[in-house]
Amino acid sequence: MGAYWIANVKVTDEEAYGKYAAIATKAIAAHGGVFLARGGKYVQLEGRDRARNVLARFPSLEAAETCYRSDMYQEALSHAKEASERDLVIVEEA
């Protein structure tokens, strides 16, 4: 069963976040992730307004979580922690 990786992000340091994105893109692809939406137009209806919204599909919940915990993604995340405010959730398909 597939799973969705959903991130809502406010970028506070474009340069550092760019480093995160470059490494994270490779890590996500290495774990079978495919981007469905990445920073496009959006309409905020409820909750916090964060201008960067990312949706990626993984083959399974386990693959998405393994990606997050991987050394490559953790390296990417080290660039994002001081460069953004983020929420990230993985949701299994119905």
pLDDT at res. 34:
98
Alpha carbon distance 92, 90 (integer Å): 7
pLDDT at res. 27:
98
pLDDT tens digits, 16-38:
999 999 999 999 999 999 999 99
- Indicate which CATH number applies to the domain containing 27: 3.30.70.100
List b or e across 6-30, with b for residues whose CB sees 16 or more CB atoms inside 10 angstroms: bbbbebeeeebbebbbebbeebbee
pLDDT tens digits, 39-75:
899 999 999 999 999 999 999 999 999 999 999 999 9
Residue 6's nearest CA partner among 52, 71, 59 is: 52
Number of domains in the chain: 1
Alpha carbon distance 10, 80 (integer Å): 10
Alpha carbon distance 59, 81 (integer Å): 26
Q: Which residue range(s) make up the domain with 81? A: 3-41+49-92
